[in-house]
Structure 1
Amino acid sequence: MSLKRIENKVYSGKRLSPEDALRLFESNDIFTLGRLASHAAQKNNGNNVYFIQNHHINPTNICLNRCKFCAFSRSKGDKGAYELSINEIIRKLRDQNPEPRSQTEIVSNQKTRKKKLSVKNSSIVNLPAGRQGPQSSLPFTEVHIVGGLHPDRPFEFYLNMLKRLKTEFPQIHIKAFTAVEIDYFSKISGLDLSDTLEELKKAGLDSLPGGGAEIFNERVRNRICPEKIKGSKWLQIMEKAHSLGIRSNATMLYGHLETYKHRIEHMLKLRDLQDRTQGFQAFIPLAFHPKNTNIKDAQYTSGIDDLKTIAVSRLFLDNFSH
């Protein structure tokens, strides 16, 4: 079946329906799908290609939850379990830049990087992670912090961590804590979700990552992560954050037990929330890696499935800039 009707909708700027998205997923015409997705990307951002220089920190892999798709979490006392102190986190970030660099060297290195990344008729843009101060000599502009739900650490630990990070690295944008962690902080602190987010923001939180969304369909979610918050709670937390001026990313874990319809259902809920808040900065589809997980029937996603998922998300999530 031809994709002409959907193609006409894309070029005329009409919103795609869930049925259109399913038709695209089921199509084998990967070239037309790619062309349409490229049109959507250029419509949003021209010939610019965006990236962020960030450093990823996982303060602990000790977690109360036991998600079947997770190869990261451990129980306290397990082999491989760890927990970083605030000083160790600070040290890890400092170790990324053992010797101060001059402003000239920083600019020179950025030009070299852009030259290597550049493509014909395109420009490479370092996407601002948020409002930043003067150019930092660190090789990253953002720190991304997510971890397990630690059974013993109080809410104050995370507030103190944010405060120390802002003191030590005032120019760095802090993107930290999934909606799952926010919900957990609310429970251990006794604060409601809004107050929990407000306290984190006052301590130095700039934005939220998109993790913990996984797949919103409750039947599938109950099979892969039964102890995790429901998809509706994830969306509620993001809406609260956006209302407080805390922007976030959004993710979708695909390639496990879900179907195309489940992916579209997930993206539709994100699109509806974005219509209301405009608080999502980017959508990141995450391909499932089955190694060392308890989901034995899943296989690695194919390159074609990855391309389809990225293309359909570009077209269906018409209110996401990235």
Structure 2
Amino acid sequence: MKPILETIKEKITKGERLTKEDGLALYDSYDIARIAMLADFARVSRLESVGEGHKKDHVYWINNHHLNLTNICEGTCKFCAYRRKEEQDGAFAYTLDAAIEYIETKVSQNAREIHIVSAINPAYTLDYYKELFRACRRAIPNAHIQALTAVEIDYIAKISGISVEETLKELISAGLGSIPGGGAEIFDENVRKQVCPEKISGKRWLEVTETAHKLGLKSNVTMLTGIG
């Protein structure tokens, strides 16, 4: 019997779709290097199938500037090496004026995306983000703003006393273009309650993201591995 990864490679070569069982086999495999090779093989195969104009040896990216506003967080996620208490060494927090100055002086005019995330911190309010997004739009009009995980959006809505939908509408009007996939971590509630018990549930994460989609925002989802 052929190794499952070899069978999957043959399917990719023939242009066949992978099955759910194939996906589970990839998930269960510890051969990360081989899986990475298969992913690149699939990428090159797709590019070759669409003909000229797509170079298989070219890698494409966007000019992205990432801004973390603070690491002072009320969360207690056990896997987080980033969080600090306010009095701890290494703690930092951008005031609104400092964040706007950073955007205006440090971010290249060639930036095509500004990625902004923060923490569960009551100092970072809806008005804070609206002013910051407007400043981004003024400083770099052509840049796409991807900001605020579903966890942050849910928290901002709660401290604002309004719904997630209302919160998102206000953020969109200020310039929000899409949301990142952070905070998803893992949707198995038993594991989630062990590693990030204070974070919103996986179900709630999906509800917030669904609301964002209904309002026209695109998103992704990031899964944390190695914690099960």
TM-score by shorter chain over 0.5? yes
Tell me: CA distance 1:13–1:222, structure 2 relative to 1, closer, same or farther (3 Å): same
Of 169, 173, 179, the residue aligned with 1:208 is 179
Q: Which residue of 2 aligns with 1:114?
A: none
Q: Is the 8 A contact 1:96 1:139 kept in 2?
A: no
Unpaired runs of at least 5, structure 2: 48-53
- The C-alpha deviation readout for 1:87-136, integer Å capped at 9, x for no partner, is 21122234436xxxxxxxxxxxxxxxxxxxxxxxxxxxxxxxxxxxxxxx
Of 156, 167, 179, the residue aligned with 1:196 is 167
| Secondary structure of 1:57 counterpart | strand
2:48 matched to 1:38? no
Tell me: CA distance 1:20–1:94, structure 2 relative to 1, closer, same or farther (3 Å): same
Q: Which residue of 2 aligns with 1:57?
A: 67
- The C-alpha deviation readout for 1:117-174, integer Å capped at 9, x for no partner, is xxxxxxxxxxxxxxxxxxxx62522111101111244321111211122122222211
Q: Which residue of 2 aligns with 1:243?
A: 214
2:125 matched to 1:154? yes
CA distance in 1 between counterparts of 2:210 and 2:45 reads 26
| Secondary structure of 2:122 counterpart | coil
Q: Which residue of 2 aligns with 1:67?
A: 77
- The C-alpha deviation readout for 1:50-79, integer Å capped at 9, x for no partner, is 212111111121211111111222233444
Tell me: CA distance 1:79–1:7, structure 2 relative to 1, closer, same or farther (3 Å): closer
RMSD: 2.5
CA distance in 1 between counterparts of 2:131 and 2:32 reads 49
CA distance in 1 between counterparts of 2:109 and 2:35 reads 39
Unpaired runs of at least 5, structure 1: 98-136, 259-322
What is the CA distance between 1:12 and its match in structure 2? Answer: 4.2
CA distance in 1 between counterparts of 2:39 and 2:65 reads 29
Q: Which residue of 2 aligns with 1:138?
A: 109
CA distance in 2 between counterparts of 1:167 and 1:189 reads 25
2:17 matched to 1:14? yes
Q: Is the 8 A contact 1:9 1:16 kept in 2?
A: no
CA distance in 2 between counterparts of 1:72 and 1:31 reads 28
- The C-alpha deviation readout for 1:246-292, integer Å capped at 9, x for no partner, is 1122211212x22xxxxxxxxxxxxxxxxxxxxxxxxxxxxxxxxxx
Map 1:1-322 → 2, pairs under 5 A: 1-2=1-2, 3=4, 5-10=7-12, 11-17=14-20, 19-27=21-29, 33-34=35-36, 36-45=38-47, 47=56, 48-96=58-106, 138-255=109-226, 257-258=227-228
Tell me: CA distance 1:22–1:91, structure 2 relative to 1, closer, same or farther (3 Å): same
Tell me: CA distance 1:12–1:200, structure 2 relative to 1, closer, same or farther (3 Å): same
| Secondary structure of 2:146 counterpart | strand
Query: Structure 2: which amino acid aligns with 1:38?
Result: D
Query: Which stretch has the larger CA shift, 3-12 or 207-216?
Result: 3-12
- Residues matched between the structures, number: 217
